[in-house]
Amino acid sequence: MSYRLTRIYTGKGDKGLTTLGGNTLPKDDLLIEALGTIDELNSVIGFIISLQISDKKIEACLTQIQNDLFDLGGELHLPERIAITPEKISQLEQSLNEWNNLLPPLKEFLLPRGNPKSAATHIARTVCRRAERAMVKLHRQISLNNPEMLRYLNRLSDVLFVIARMLARETNEKELMWEHP
């Protein structure tokens, strides 16, 4: 097996450029922005997992999501390699439905907080929404080969919201609703 990352730095990025698939792009290119935000999301999810989730189904789901996000990034890099399929979205929806059925219905917006795991998952949800916005901008610019990537990120933010609620229950956190006039 060859090593993918034999050298960590090249110095090429010092001028605000990066190489992707043999092409040199400015680091603020929409593609690089989308890839970076997806990477950030993956890191936040890794942080959540590091907080020792007691529900092994949630932990397994988050680990699968991390792998899916690498696949999504790979697909952005190589658009001819479809990795985000309707089946991946169905998996998210199944988890979403299962966990949401265990939670009380919401009558109002929640304040994003709770225990550290829940609060970190709310951060992941907002980073996911930012990744989705970056992908929508990119899609308008280059028309993504696989619009399932947009569906995946949209559904993922919903899953992360429900997971945040589930994780808050681990420590019996009271959900605080938005108070408005």
Q: What does the angle CA 130 – CA 62 – CA 109 come to, to the nearest 5 degrees? A: 50
Contact assessment for residue 31 and residue 135, using Cβ atoms and an 8 Å cutoff: no
Q: How far apart are CA 74 and CA 82, in angstroms?
A: 9
177: helix, strand or coil:
strand
Q: Where are the domains of the chain?
A: 27-169
C-alpha distances in Å from residue 84, one per residue of 33, 145, 153: 19, 11, 10
Report yes or no: 163 and 61 within 8 Å, Cβ to Cβ.
yes
**C-alpha dihedral over 49, 50, 55, 60, to 10 degrees?**
40
* pLDDT tens digits in sequence order for the chain, 181 residues long: 665 666 777 777 788 888 887 888 888 899 999 999 999 999 999 999 999 999 999 999 999 999 999 999 999 988 889 999 999 999 999 999 999 999 988 888 987 888 999 999 999 999 999 999 999 999 999 989 999 999 999 999 999 999 999 999 888 778 877 888 8
Closest CA to 50 of 59, 40, 61: 59
Pairwise CA distance, residues 157 & 59, whole Å: 16
CATH for 27-169, among 3.90.1150.50, 3.40.50.300, 1.20.1200.10, 1.10.3720.10? 1.20.1200.10
Residue 15 pLDDT:
84
125 three-state secondary structure: helix
Go through the chain and tell me how many residues it has.
181
Q: What is the DSSP letter of 173?
A: P
Cβ-proximal residues to 75 (8 Å cutoff; 6+ apart), any chain: 81, 82, 83, 84, 145, 146, 149
What is the pLDDT at residue 104?
87
Can you say whether the dihedral through the CA atoms of 64, 93, 106, 56 is positive or negative?
Answer: negative
